[in-house]
Structure formats: C-alpha cells, structure tokens
Homo-oligomer: A and B are copies of this chain.
Amino acid sequence: MKTCEIISVGTELLLGDILNTDAQFLAKELAALGLCVLHQSTVGDNHDRLLELLGQAAKRSDIIILSGGLGPTPDDITKEVACEFFEKELVLHGESLERMSAYFTAKGLVMPETNKKQAMLPEDCVVFNNNNGTAPGLAMEKDGKHILLLPGPPRELKPMFYESAVPYLKRFSDKVIISHNIRTFGIGESAMSETVADLLECPNPTVAPYAKDGEALLRVTAMADNEAEAEKLCVPMIEEIRARLSDYIYGIDCNSIEEAVVPMLIENKLKLATAESCTGGLIGKRITNVSGASKVFDCGIISYSNEIKHRILGVSKEALDKYGAVSAEVAKQMAKGALKISGADIAVSVTGIAGPSSDGTSKPVGLSYIALADKYNVWVKELNTSRKDRDYNRFVNSSNALNMVRLYINKML
C-alpha cells in the first residue's frame, strides 16, 4: 500500500485565519482511493521550512500532495521550492498561458503581468488544468517519489482533484478502504466501548469508538482489494454490533438523529408538533434541516415565558406556580398543549435551564425535562447534563427530544 502525505502551505493557515478544510477533503478522498495517509503538515510560505519538510516527507512517503502557494504573488513559492527539491527547471507552458489569458478575457479583464508566473511549469510534469481559477496544478516524479501540487482555494482544489489528481493517482491504489458509522444515542462512549471491547481489537475491519455532542458512535472500517470485498468484511461486524447495541442504535451512515427520525415519522404516517422553551426553536430547526420534513411537521410553538406557556399552550398557572417552569409537570402540559393546538399525532416538549447562569431558582443549570405526548399518554424524561455550556445543553436537549420520538415509534418508551 502506497503511503501518502498532505502538506498544506500558507501563512494564513499557520495564523489560524482560515480553517484547513483542504486537508480534510484530501485525507478523505485519498483514503477512499486506498492510499494510506500517515502525516499531514502545515507550513507557511517559507522557503527553508518548506524545503526541509519536503525532505522529511520524501523519506517517509511515496506520494506528497501539496496544496496552496500557487498564486501569482511573490510570496507564493510552493512550485519553486518543489522544483528546487526535485531539481527540475521551470519553463513556460504555452497552453496554460493561453487558458489563463482566456479566463481573464471571459471576465472582461486583461490578465495582469504578474499572473504569467503561474504558467511557468516544471519540465516534463503532468499539467492539471484549472477550470475554476488561474493556477494550473501539476504532478511530477523523481526516483519513484511523486509530488502533486494543487491550488489552495477549495473551489479550485476540489474539482481539480476529481478531474486530474484522481486519474493520476488511480494507478497507485491497490486497496480500497470503506467505513460505516454506527450511530447510537443514550449510551456513553465508555459504556459502549466496554460492550464491544473485544471487537475493538479486530484488525480488519477495525472498529473505533468516537464521542461527540452527547452521542457515541462506532466506526467500522474495512480494507480490501475492491469495494465489494470491503463491504463484505463490514457486514458481519455491523450485524454483531447491532445485536449488542440494538436499542441504542438510531442509524448507520446517517449524519444526525433528525435524519433518522424524519423518515421514521414519514413511514409511520405520524405528524409531530413541538413546544420548545430553552431550546428556542432548535428542535424545529433540526427537523426542518431534513428536506421533506413538511410531510410530518407543520407546527412548533416556541414558548420562552410562563405567560406564553399558559396562554398559547394551556399550561396551568397552578403547575407553573407549584412546580416552576422547569418541571416534569410543565413539560407534560407543554407537550399536551402542542398536541392540541397543532392537531398532530404526537408532540414533544423541552423545558430546562440551558445556562450559563441559573434561572433564579435553586434548580441546577443543565437540568431539563423532555416530554412526549400522544392522544392517550404522556411520557417525561428528566435530564441533568451538569454542564453550564448553553450550546451543549440546548443541543443535547433537542437530541433527547428527537430520540424520544424514535423510542416512541419503536415502542420503547
């Protein structure tokens, strides 16, 4: 298996002015090609440091992918340094000069003199045309080491990668890597890992646990000669994990719980309504992230005060006085109220203290109540994240509300 590394060039990356999305894009695409990325580095537009890094990279990797530093200004030196390292001369590439000139003409502009630098390309390189900007990319080889130069702007890099770099790299990919993400809700990363501890030792497919935003997931990754073989390796592993964690798994290869729940609602012909206090519209927002949500969702009430909870959702003044806005009873009445006003089949509600500061009662920040009502019953869950992180609390609250819908449909409430 050929090893590959990614070098991102740009002082703006070192200063943190821009997020390095190129490295992620390249890493993912190279993995999909079956190329093994073992290092990623970022270095500024600096001759000595880039040259040194190329030396290290060429020792440990077969293929080096550089992005950035192909611009027309004097501080763009990636191509020059790469040529110095590979001992190649830069010569004018007529076709690229014409393409660049045409690019400016199409925009009603005259090509600035400085851009000509971009048409100077190493002798006997493979030129990657840029259909979305001026700087051509390229690939060159010496002593069995390959180096690819790509422009930094994602809107130029991505199409060039697909159009030119992938055909160039195909010859090196002998293995294919495929991953599947098994997403769970309601179990922590540690507990999940303990349940599948023996599987985490498996070499192929590998199984790796991750945690994010109050959820835990397992990633199953197989390597094989082709896609079909890799998929075949994944199947029994996914089945085994499914058997052990079934109640917690909300989806495989979906990106979020709402992407799992909306299709479940559609399939079961259930209309959902929401009544939100501390989440302030986030549950509605997440449901309507999913295109087609209008089939199952048409009404949400954001009731951020006691008065609105009472007047629009019909929460009783007694419950508000006796238990407070953040209480199981109020959550239940909110869900029932949303059900009534919307005419939906089920309704979820959230009331809680998202923080960072307390609501003036003795209740802790991070406490919330999440309820689900149908025409006959109402269920409520108490949750305490013990965190003062407003964003986290609101997100986890909304996830729990969505998960309650999943549990309801699966008759697990």
* Assembled-state Cα–Cα distance A210/B389 (Å): 28
Q: Is A204 an interface residue (CB 8 A)?
A: no
Q: Is the CB of B304 within 8 A of A297?
A: yes
A23/B39 contact (C-beta < 8 A), A16-B31, A17-B28, A212-B153 known: no
Q: Is A43 an interface residue (CB 8 A)?
A: yes
Choose among B15, B29, B179 the residue that contacts A37 (Cβ–Cβ < 8 A).
Answer: B15
Q: Is A308 an interface residue (CB 8 A)?
A: yes
* Assembled-state Cα–Cα distance A303/B188 (Å): 35
Q: Is the CB of B12 within 8 A of A16?
A: no
- Contacting residues, chain B, for A211 (C-beta < 8 A): 71, 153
Stretch in A107-115, A162-170, A242-250, A403-411 with 4+ CB within 8 Å of B: A107-115
* Assembled-state Cα–Cα distance A292/B288 (Å): 26
Q: Is the CB of B305 within 8 A of A299?
A: yes
Stretch in A77-85, A90-98, A140-148, A278-286 with 4+ CB within 8 Å of B: A278-286
Across the two chains, which residue of chain B brings its CB closest to A27? B16
Contact with B along A184-213 (1 / 0, CB 8 A): 000011110110000010000000111110
Choose among B25, B210, B279, B294 the residue that contacts A304 (Cβ–Cβ < 8 A).
Answer: B294
Choose among B44, B285, B341, B384 the residue that contacts A107 (Cβ–Cβ < 8 A).
Answer: B384
Measured CB to CB, the closest approach of chain B to A16, in angstroms, equals 3
The number of chain A residues touching the other chain, given as a range, is: 35 or more
Q: Is the CB of A42 within 8 A of B43?
A: no
Contact with B along A285-323 (1 / 0, CB 8 A): 101110101100111111111011000100000000000
Q: Is the CB of A73 within 8 A of B209?
A: yes
* Assembled-state Cα–Cα distance A364/B357 (Å): 44
Q: Is A101 an interface residue (CB 8 A)?
A: no
* Assembled-state Cα–Cα distance A42/B209 (Å): 19
A293/B308 contact (C-beta < 8 A), A17-B28, A24-B20, A301-B301 known: no
A74/B200 contact (C-beta < 8 A), A280-B300, A302-B300 known: yes
Q: Is the CB of A289 within 8 A of B391?
A: yes
Choose among B341, B384, B389 the residue that contacts A312 (Cβ–Cβ < 8 A).
Answer: B341
Q: Is A363 an interface residue (CB 8 A)?
A: no
Q: Is A226 an interface residue (CB 8 A)?
A: no
Q: Is A56 an interface residue (CB 8 A)?
A: yes
Choose among B14, B112, B302, B387 the residue that contacts A301 (Cβ–Cβ < 8 A).
Answer: B302
Q: Is A256 an interface residue (CB 8 A)?
A: no
* Assembled-state Cα–Cα distance A13/B200 (Å): 19
A39, A46, A303, A356, most chain B CB atoms within 10 A: A39
- Contacting residues, chain B, for A11 (C-beta < 8 A): 208
Measured CB to CB, the closest approach of chain B to A163, in angstroms, equals 13
- Contacting residues, chain B, for A106 (C-beta < 8 A): 384, 386
- Contacting residues, chain B, for A109 (C-beta < 8 A): 188
Q: Is the CB of B291 within 8 A of A281?
A: no
Q: Is the CB of A15 within 8 A of B43?
A: no
* Assembled-state Cα–Cα distance A302/B282 (Å): 11
Closest 8 CB pairs of A and B: A280-B288, A281-B284, A16-B28, A281-B281, A16-B27, A300-B302, A298-B305, A40-B42
- Residues of A in contact with B (beta carbons under 8 Å apart): 11-21, 23-31, 37-44, 46, 49, 53, 56, 71-75, 103, 106-109, 112, 114-115, 132, 153, 155, 177, 179, 188-191, 193-194, 200, 208-212, 219, 221, 274, 276, 278-285, 287-289, 291, 293-294, 297-305, 307-308, 312, 341-342, 355-357, 384-387, 389-392, 394
In the complex, 12 of the A-B residue pairs with CB atoms within 8 angstroms, ordered by the A residue number, are A13-B24, A14-B40, A15-B27, A16-B30, A39-B43, A71-B211, A73-B190, A106-B384, A114-B190, A281-B284, A281-B287, A281-B300
